Chains A and B, each alone.
Chain A
Amino acid sequence: MINIIGDNLIFISFLFILLSFLSYSFSFYKKNSLFSELGKRSLSIVLIILTFAIFLLEFQLITKDYSNLYVAKNVSNDLSTIFSMTSLWAGQAGSLMLWTWILAIYLFIENKKSLSKLIPASRIIGTFTLGFFIYLICFVENPFESADKIYDNGRGLNPILQNIYMSIHPLSLYLGYIGITIPFCFGIAAIISKDKSNDWISESKKWTYFSWTFLSIGLLLGSRWAYLELGWGGYWAWDPVENVALMPWLLLTAFIHSSYAQEQKKVLRRWNLLLIFLAFFLSIFGTFITRSGLISSVHSFAQSSIGNYFIVFIILILLSSAFLYYRNKIYIESEKEIKSLYSKENFFVFNNILFLVITFTVLVGTIFPIISEFFTGKRILVGPSFYDLVNFPNVLMLILLMTFAPFLPWEKGNIKPVLRYLKIPFLFSLVLSSFAFLKFESLNIFIVFLLSLTTLFSICKEFIIDLKINKNSIDKKFRRYCSFIVHFGVIIMIMGVSFSSNFEKKYDITMSEGEEVLFGDLRLRLDDIYEKETPAKSIIGANIVLKKNNNLYNLTPEQNLYKYEGNREINKETEVAIYSTFLKDYYLILVDKNLEGKLNLKLYINPLVSFLWLGSLISIIGGSMLFFRRKLND
């Protein structure tokens, strides 16, 4: 019954979005405000209907109504209410439903408050995109499809996905991904309305901050989940699925910088349009790649027909954007040119080039198997060392830019005052990194530390000067401070990443009860091995004491074997035991108990991983401050 209601609701919303799209298009070409009003009303109706539908689906998930195929596939009787709710985005149809709903909310918000003259044109693109997604959930992947019989129990959610990080992570990525649609709509709107002002940049500003922040949160939660739950000792593997989430983030980061230059100095207008098109394209392309099965990933999104629809949509977007861009090229020319090499705006150009290079590298790495198969007939892929090799010098250059650009003036640049300003931070940093070099004997670490610390100290220097001397300038420079906070976090993160990837230590251990093993100043003692049975699973675990500098820590790594009645194929779950300190993580995995009754364990000692989480968190705080501030001001 509910299935039929839900199904019909989606169909009605499809009719209304069609109406909305047609009336907006008509009103734009005929300059008729009556039709614009009609479009607006129908869009509101679409949102109301979709909201209702999504509540219905949630209701079915929570009450475990197995007459719905989607519910039967994604929840089970033993699944807690909270994970039943988040199962809305555990499967394809539900994810698309959520995607559609969020996009409808975004368009509605933009519709309500903005008075920009770009709005009519941008609504055409917005409703078109929304229409595409409603079409998908209506005719291709319907979340209200009925199961042909009513099941007693559903298929359920995999135990390793039952984790709070994993349940928020996709939602956060979606919020970010979908947010890119709005700046894209404004960009296209600027082109088709031949608008020579920089309105589209100021209109998109808050959306780019918003998307950037949520994409960052999504990426952070994803890697945290991988680190805690997957049990391979790392947080990033350059897997295609991770890569496609990273690419829009990279382009958005580039866009935030160059659009700032356009806003302030009216340069890089055309360039910014291209960037936002690319970002939107990559966000859709990412969805396509992961869902179409074109690229094999460790995450198996099984292949579905949905890929074909995305191809059509992508080609449509590419062709029409390119067509509009070239037809209206003269209208979107920048008003001004870059005047000096050592100006802030020019350093933003370099920033953009470097970010594009990273994006391109990640893209090449991701689609390499397809390219190589096409040209040589052999499927060849590139390993993680590919990314490391290209990105390492790139990131170094980016840190260098981060050191200089914030202190360079706009337009007429002069590098000398900046060099003078950076002298003291650099000297401090040189001393500290020399110490680091003596201790770790690694040139890479020396360079990373030298550049990173210089940037950190240069930021601190400005904060100190402002606190002491220009106390009343603090309010005026809020945006600048936010960007400093983001930079600060990024630098801390980079230090964490470079350290943990260079100095990770790995040990294989086989030990029996009561045995003690020594690793330098570290002792591991296996107190006892326990085996437990619960209704849901059998557990093998161990009580292990880690002793360092006379401090004792208890670690209990476990291996769970789930007993399912359902048809979930995965039933093993490794519970990693981690003892995190500020400088080092001790990461212990129970591999198995062998026939002699001894335990096989793995110990990873990962230095400075805490820097990675801390740095990302600081950046995210900075990003969200930017977003909230803009909202208050304009």
Chain B
Amino acid sequence: MKPKVKLRILTFVIIAFFSFLIFKAVDSSLVYYLTVNEALEKNRDFPKYKQLRILGIVKEGSIINNLDGSIVFEIEESGKTIKVKYKGIIPDIFADGVEAVVEGDFKDSVFRADKLFAKCPTKYEDEEYKKEQS
């Protein structure tokens, strides 16, 4: 066989292998990304075993610190809220009124989060600031 042909075959094998791997990996690491309303409405449409990630605003005054370091709070979108329980590292920027993303799944009506993100401060443009000015 010519080296060029061998090279083609090998390339094909490598790419096929990784394509397969990518499909497998996508399947095993899927996370549905929803807003609060979508999560409340469509909760039943999503297979139970998959992780959900929900975006919402932390409701003012809803954060309760428990003795063991876990927190309970509510995230809201246009008046509707979801109660979240979380134990883990709390991002510095997490506070009342910030945009937060929680990842985990529903146990009854409480969302058990194993990850909590709050939007990072690398703000390139602050729309509110502009509004305040005008």
| Interface pick from B24-32, B77-85, B105-113 | B24-32
A382 and B14 contact, CB distance less than 8 A: no
Q: Let me know if A339 and B3 touch, CB within 8 A.
A: yes
One digit per residue, 1 when the CB lies within 8 angstroms of any chain B CB and 0 when it does not, for chain A 577-614 equals: 00000000000010110111010101000000000000
Of residues 79 through 107 on chain B, the ones whose CB sits less than 8 Å from some CB of chain A are 87, 89-95, 97-99, 101
CB–CB B31/A382 < 8 A: yes
Min CB gap A518→B, angstroms: 19
Question: For B97, what are the chain A residues with a Cβ–Cβ distance below 8 Å?
Answer: 569
Q: A389–B124 contact, CB under 8 A?
A: no
Q: Which of the residues B14, B65, B125, B134 comes within 8 Å of A92, measured between beta carbons?
A: B125
**A571: nearest chain-B partner, CB-CB:** B95
Q: When the two chains form their complex, are residues B69 and A91 in contact, meaning their CB atoms are under 8 A apart?
A: no
B59 within 8 A of A: no
Q: What chain B residues lie within 8 Å of A91 (beta carbons)?
A: 123-125
Contact among B68, B93, B99, B120 with A510 in the assembled complex (CB-CB below 8 Å): B68
List residues 183-216 of chain A with CB under 8 A from any CB of chain B.
none
A48 sits at the interface (CB 8 A)? no
Structural contact, B14 and A300, CB atoms closer than 8 A: no
Interface size class of B (residues with CB under 8 A): 35 or more
A257 within 8 A of B: no
CA distance A432 to B25 in the complex (A): 32
Nearest-CB distance from B72 to chain A (Å)?
Answer: 14
Which of these, A297, A304, A572, A600, contacts B69 with CB under 8 Å?
A600
- Does chain A have a CB within 8 A of B4? yes
B53–A381 contact, CB under 8 A? Answer: yes
Question: 1/0 per residue A502-534: CB within 8 Å of B?
Answer: 000000101000000000000000000000000
Given A298-B117, A337-B4, answer yes or no on A508-B69 (Cβ-Cβ < 8 Å): yes
Q: Which residues in A have their C-beta under 8 angstroms from that of B98? A: 569
Contacts of B26 in A (CB 8 A): 364, 368, 382, 386
* Cβ A353 vs Cβ B14 within 8 A: yes
Given contacts A380-B31, A389-B29, contact A594 B67 (CB under 8 A): yes
Whole-angstrom distance from the CB of A512 to the nearest CB of chain B? 12
Interface string of B5-25 (1 = CB under 8 A from A): 011001100110010011011
A381 and B121 form a contact (CB under 8 A): no
A291 to B123, CA, bound (A): 10
Q: Does B21 lie within 8 Å of A390, measured CB to CB?
A: yes
Asked if B33 and A302 make an inter-chain contact with CB atoms under 8 angstroms apart, the answer reads no
Number of contacts between A and B (CB, 8 Å)?
Answer: 172
Q: Are B124 and A302 in contact (CB under 8 A)?
A: yes
CB distance from A245 to the nearest CB of B (A): 12
The answer to whether B65 touches A570, judged by C-beta atoms less than 8 angstroms apart, is no
Binding-face segment, A31-39, A154-162, A419-427: A154-162
Q: Check if B3 sits within 8 Å of A510, measured CB to CB.
A: no
Interface string of A315-342 (1 = CB under 8 A from B): 0000000000000000000000111110
| A-chain residues with CB within 8 Å of residue B134 when the two chains form the complex | 148
Contact with B along A343-364 (1 / 0, CB 8 A): 0001001100110010001001
Chain B residues whose C-beta falls within 8 Å of the C-beta of A479 in the assembled complex: none
Contact residues in A for B91 (Cβ distance below 8 Å): 230, 232
- Chain B: interface secondary structure? mixed
Contacts of A149 in B (CB 8 A): 133
Asked if A573 and B67 make an inter-chain contact with CB atoms under 8 angstroms apart, the answer reads no
B4/A338 in contact, CB under 8 A:
yes
Contact B133 A301 (CB under 8 A): no
CB of A147 closer than 8 Å to a CB of B: yes
Check: B129 CB closer than 8 A to any chain A CB.
yes
Closest Cβ–Cβ distance, residue B94 to chain A (whole Å): 8
**Complex CA distance for A403 and B134, rounded to whole angstroms:** 62
Verify B122–A378 contact, CB threshold 8 A: no
Chain A residues positioned under 8 Å from B127 (CB to CB): 302
CB-based contact B122/A382 at 8 Å: no
| Complex Cα–Cα for A271 and B6 (A) | 18
Q: Is the CB of A232 within 8 A of B29?
A: no
Question: Do residues A304 and B125 form an inter-chain contact, with CB atoms below 8 A?
Answer: yes
Roughly how many angstroms separate A546 CA and B128 CA in the complex, as a whole number?
45
Which chain A residue shows the least CB distance to B6? A341
Does chain A have a CB within 8 A of B132? yes
**A369 within 8 Å of B by Cβ?**
yes
Contact of A508 among B67, B87, B93, B126 (CB under 8 A): B87
Q: A379 interface residue, CB < 8 Å from B?
A: yes
Question: Do A594 and B123 touch across chains, with their CB atoms under 8 A apart?
Answer: no
Q: Is A73 an interface residue (CB 8 A)?
A: yes
Closest Cβ neighbor of A368 among chain B residues:
B26
Find out whether the CB atom of A298 lies under 8 angstroms from the CB atom of B69: no
Contact B65 A594 (CB under 8 A): yes
Residue of A nearest to B65 (CB): A592
Interface centre among A339, A341, A369, A567 (most CB of B within 10 A): A341
Chain A residues positioned under 8 Å from B123 (CB to CB)? 91, 300-302
Q: Is the pair A381, B18 in contact by a Cβ cutoff of 8 Å?
A: no
Q: Give CA–CA (A574, B91) in the complex, Å.
A: 9
Q: Among A296, A301, A394, which residue has its beta carbon within 8 angstroms of that of B122?
A: A301
A387: B residues at CB distance < 8 A: 25
Q: Are B95 and A386 within 8 A (Cβ)?
A: no
| Residue from the list A232, A291, A346, A510 in contact with B124, Cβ < 8 A | A291
- The residue that B129 contacts in the complex, of A73, A232, A304, A596, with Cβ under 8 A, is A73
Q: Please judge, given known A-B contacts A569-B98, A594-B67, A594-B69, whether A231 and B89 are in contact too, CB under 8 Å.
A: yes
Docked complex Cα distance between A385 and B6 (Å): 33
**Chain B residues within 8 Å of A296, by CB:** 33, 55, 101
A299 at the interface (CB under 8 A from B): yes
Q: Are A338 and B7 in contact (CB under 8 A)?
A: yes
Q: A567 contacts B69, CB within 8 Å?
A: no
For the complex, is A67 an interface residue (Cβ under 8 Å from B)? no
Which listed residue (B28, B30, B31) contacts A389, Cβ 8 A? Answer: B28
> With A337-B4, A594-B69 in contact, do A161 and B21 touch (Cβ < 8 Å)?
no
Task: Judge whether B95 and A567 touch: CB under 8 Å.
Answer: no
Instruction: Say whether A233 faces chain B, with CB atoms less than 8 Å apart.
Output: yes
Residue of A nearest to B30 (CB): A380
Residues of B within 8 A of A298 (CB): 101, 117-120
Q: A340-B3, A596-B67, A600-B69 are in contact. Are A378 and B28 (CB under 8 A)?
A: no
- The 0/1 profile, CB within 8 Å of A marked 1, for residues 44-77 of chain B is 0000000101010000000001111100000000
Chain A residues numbered 536-576 whose CB sits less than 8 Å from any CB in chain B:
567, 569-574
Q: Check A595 against B67 for contact (C-beta < 8 Å).
A: yes
Q: Does A383 contact B (CB under 8 A)?
A: yes
Pick the residue among A73, A297, A346, A382 that contacts B126 (CB under 8 A): A73
Inter-chain contacts of B31 with A (CB < 8 A): 380-383
Supplied contacts A302-B123, A346-B7, A594-B66, 5 more A-B pairs, CB within 8 Å: A92-B124, A299-B122, A338-B3, A381-B53, A382-B30
Please list 14 pairs of residues, one from A and one from B, whose beta carbons are closer than 8 Å in the complex, sorted by A's number: A148-B134, A149-B133, A300-B123, A361-B18, A383-B31, A383-B51, A385-B28, A385-B29, A390-B21, A508-B68, A570-B95, A572-B94, A591-B90, A598-B67
Sort A-B residue pairs by CB-CB distance and give the 5 closest, nearest first.
Answer: A600-B69, A300-B119, A386-B29, A389-B25, A92-B124
